[in-house]
Amino acid sequence: MNTAEGALVLVEDRSDGVSILTINRPEKRNAIDADMARAIQDAFEKFDKSPQRVAVITGAGNLAFSSGADLRNLSYEHWRCIPGMGVTTMKPVIAAVGGWCIGVGLAVAAMADLLVAGEDARFYYPEPRHGVTANLIAPIAVRLPYKCVMELLLLSRPVEASRAYEMGLANLVVPAGTHLQAALDMARVIATYAPLALQSIKRTIVRDVLPKSPAEGMARWQQEIEGLNRSEDLEEGLSAFREKRQPQFKGR
C-alpha cells in the first residue's frame, strides 16, 4: 500500500504493475469537490511517471463509485479528474464501478479506457432535473452512439448495469461486489503486454482518431497554461523584468 491515512485518494502500487486508485470519501458517497478533483489528478500524474503499467480507479465503500459533484461545495475544478481532460496519461485506465455512478463520477468512469460494472451499478446524469448542466459530459458524446448519449442526458434516470453494457458504456458486467477483482484480472493481463505498444495504441485512438469535444479542447488549453505558469522560464521572465535585465530562458 502506498498511501497516507485519511488521503482523499488511496493508492496501491501492486507488484504486478497494476495500480489501484480509490476515491476515498465514503462518508459522502465519494462525492467530488475541488480538493478531490485535484487529488485524483495528482494521483494519476504520479502513476503516469511511475513504472506502473495499468491503473484501476474505483470508489471506497459499497454504495457508490462516486455520487457526483459535492453540491455543498460546488467548484469548476471537476475537469481535472476526468480521463482525456485533466487526466492525460497514455497508460491504460480501467474503471471498476459498483453502486451509484453519478454526474461527474459518470464522466470519470465513462472516459476510462475500459469499464467493469457490478450488477448493482447504476449510472445517472441528474443535472436536467435540477436545472443545471456542465460540459463534462460532452466528451462522452463522441464515444457512445447518439441515442444512447441522449438517453443518459435527456431522460435523466438511472441506467442499470445491463443497459450500460448494451449501450457500450460498460465492457463487462459481473456479480455485485466482484467488480474490482474482475477489473484487476483484466488489468493484470494488460500489464503483461508491451507498454510502449499499449501507449501508442491509446495515443493514436485518443489523439488522432476520436473527434474532440470543446470541453476536451478547453482542458488541453488549461493544462498548457498551467504548465507555463509553473515553468522556470516564467519565473526568469518576471525576475528579469523586475531587475531590468535581459532574461536567460532555458526552455523549462
CATH code for position 185: 3.90.226.10
Q: Which amino acid is it at 30?
A: N
Residue 186 falls inside a structural domain: yes
DSSP state of 244: T
Domain ranges, residue 99: 9-193
Q: What are the tens digits of pLDDT across the range 121-160? A: 999 998 877 776 766 777 888 889 999 999 998 999 999 9
* Long-range contacts of the stretch 60-63 (C-beta < 8 A, 24+): 60/10, 60/22, 60/23, 60/24, 60/25, 60/26, 60/30, 61/26, 61/29, 61/30, 61/99, 62/98, 62/99, 62/177, 63/26, 63/29, 63/99, 63/100
End-to-end Cα distance, the chain: 33
Residue 231 falls inside a structural domain: no
Least confident interval from 68-72, 155-159, 165-169, 180-184: 68-72
Residue 227 falls inside a structural domain: no
Residue 243 falls inside a structural domain: no
Secondary structure element (H or E) that encloses residue 96, with its range: strand 93-97
Most confident of 114-123, 219-228, 230-239: 114-123
Exposure string for 82-102, b = 16+ CB within 10 A, e = fewer: bbbbbbebbbbbbbbbbbbbb
Domain count, the chain: 1
